[in-house]
Structure 1
Amino acid sequence: MRILGPELVEKTIEAIYKIRSRIKTVQDRQKSYADKRIKELTFEIGEKVFLKVAQIKGILRFGKKGKVSPRFIDPFEILEKIGNVAYRLALLPDLSAMHNVFHISMLRKYISDPNHLVNVQSLDVQSDMTYEEAPAVIQGRKDHVLRN
């Protein structure tokens, strides 16, 4: 039996309303889940914060390579609040090539602890964007003997 004319339009409209209501309930559930876990972060001028750095595979960053490279560096002082979600930081001279305004998602609150400090070392980068990597000290050596 074929549905034609006004019945087809009516069935289609009902199906659309059903799909929209299901989508709305799923969105409401996801929003309530996200709202429970969101933290309102605000910082004051003069406060210290950590800056998040991008993890790039195979690149030596701040003295460490790969998984052990730091996710956050140095505590930087906040100089100015720009809008609701951006802050201007007082960066070190080594990082002067970087723009000094960051979104709040890139910052973490600094709690004073001397173990948090990571020394930023400058790299001697050649014009072709490469640098020489040399081991400082060989910690140990072990020969592995196989059965065959």
Structure 2
Amino acid sequence: MARYANKKRWPDEVFQVGDLVLVSARNITLPWNITHKFNHQYYGPYKVSKHINLVTYELELPDVAQFHNAFHVSLLKRFKPDTKYG
């Protein structure tokens, strides 16, 4: 029962200013002629520039990004650099 109850709880992921995070592509709209099944699930890494409130973070996005730079914590994932291939 705890497994089902925990699905509705907010993630307790806490990011600090300067951390690198990935942004979920779930709410990012792309042009209609792009096949969505071949797109990435996450974009980034981007640096956290500001902690706005309990569940919102502001990111440093490139200038060509045409969407808002504040994201809910559930749309963010900590960036873990892959040292296996680098």
Question: Shared fold by TM > 0.5?
Answer: yes
Amino acid of the residue matched to residue 35 of structure 1?
Answer: N
Write the letter of the residue equivalent to 1:103.
H
Give secondary structure in 1 for the equivalent of 2:5. Answer: helix
Q: Does 1:104 align with 2:73?
A: yes
Match of 2:23 in 1: 51
Correspondence 1:51-130 to 2 at 5 A:
51-54=23-26, 59-60=33-34, 65-95=35-65, 97-113=66-82
Structure 1 counterpart SS, 2:15: coil
- RMSD between superposed Cα atoms in Å: 2.6
8 A Cα contact 1:56 1:66, kept in partner: no
Q: Which runs of 5+ in 1 are unaligned?
A: 1-28, 115-148
- The residue that corresponds to 1:42 in the other structure is 14
Structure-2 separation of matches of 1:111 and 1:103: 19
Q: Cα 1:37–1:83, aligned 2, differ >3 Å: closer, same or farther? A: closer
1:90–1:100 contact (8 Å) kept in structure 2: yes
1:87 Cα offset (Å): 0.2
- Corresponding residue SS for 1:93: coil
Using the TM superposition, give the Cα deviation of residue 40 of structure 1 relative to its aligned residue in structure 2, in angstroms: 1.5
More strand by share: 2
Across the two proteins, how many residue pairs are aligned to each other? 79
Between the aligned residues of both structures, percent identity stands at: 25
Shift of 1:35: 2.2
Aligned-partner SS, 1:75:
strand
Larger radius of gyration: 1
Deviation readout 1:14-67 (Å, 9 max, x if unpaired)? xxxxxxxxxxxxxxx5xx32227954211110000001113769542xxxx331
- Relative contact order higher in (CA < 8 Å, ≥ 6 apart): 2
